[in-house]
Amino acid sequence: MKPLTPSPVSPWKIILAMAFVVACWGYSPTGIHIGLQAYDPVHLALLRFLLASVFMAVVAIFKGIRLPSLRDLPLMFGLGFFAVSLHHVAINFGQQGVSAGASSVLAQTTPLFSTLIARFVFKDRVSLWRWGCVLLGLFGVLIVVAGDHGLGSIDAHGLLILLAAVSWSLYFALQKHHTGRYDGLTLVCYTVWSGTVLLLVYLPGLADQVALAPMHVQFAVIALGIFPSALAYLAWAYVLAHVDLSRATMTLYLTPPTAMVIASYALGERPTLMIVVGGLVVLASVLALNLERRAVVVQAVRV
- Given a contact cutoff of 8 angstroms between Cβ atoms, the answer to whether 249 and 291 are in contact is no
* 78: pLDDT strictly greater than 90: yes
Q: What is the pLDDT of residue 243?
A: 76
* Range 168-186 average pLDDT: 79
Q: How many domains does the chain have?
A: 1
Taken in order 58, 60, 63, 64, the sign of the CA dihedral is negative
Nearest Cα to Cα of residue 292 among 162, 108, 112: 112
Q: Does 167 score more than 60 pLDDT? A: yes
Whether residue 289 is contained in a domain is answered as no
Q: Residue 45 above 90 pLDDT?
A: yes
193 inside domain? yes
Name the residue among 42, 20, 89 with its Cα closest to residue 230: 20
Residue 300's pLDDT is 28
Spatial CB neighbours of 174, under 8 Å, sequence gap ≥ 6: 75, 78, 79, 82
pLDDT exceeds 80 at position 76: yes
What pLDDT is stored for residue 108 in this prediction?
A: 81
User: Per-residue pLDDT for 73 more than 50?
Assistant: yes
The top-scoring range by mean pLDDT among 68-77, 166-175, 293-302 is 68-77
pLDDT tens-digit map of 202-227: 999 999 999 999 999 999 999 999 99
CA distance 8 to 99: 42
HSE toward the beta carbon, residue 15, CA cutoff 13 A: 3
Q: List the single range of 33-42, 137-146, 186-195 with lowest mean pLDDT.
A: 137-146
Residue 292 lies in a domain: no
Give the pLDDT of residue 177: 66
Work out the average pLDDT over 68-96.
93
pTM of the model: 0.85
Distances from the Cα of 160 to the Cα of 13, 21, 176, 198, angstroms: 36, 24, 24, 19
End-to-end CA distance of the chain: 23
Domain hosting residue 174, numbered range:
11-125+156-270
The reply to whether 296 falls in a domain is no
Is residue 264, in this structure, part of any structural domain at all? Answer: yes
The answer to whether residue 220 is domain-embedded is yes
Confidence of residue 35 (pLDDT cuts 50, 70, 90): very high
Query: Residue 236 domain-assigned?
Result: yes
The whole-number pLDDT of residue 93 equals 96
pLDDT (tens digit per residue) in 130-156: 888 888 888 888 888 787 766 555 568
CA-to-CA distance for 69 and 199, rounded, in angstroms? 23
Please state, for a pLDDT cut of 70, what percent of the chain lies above it.
Answer: 87
- In-domain check, residue 171: yes
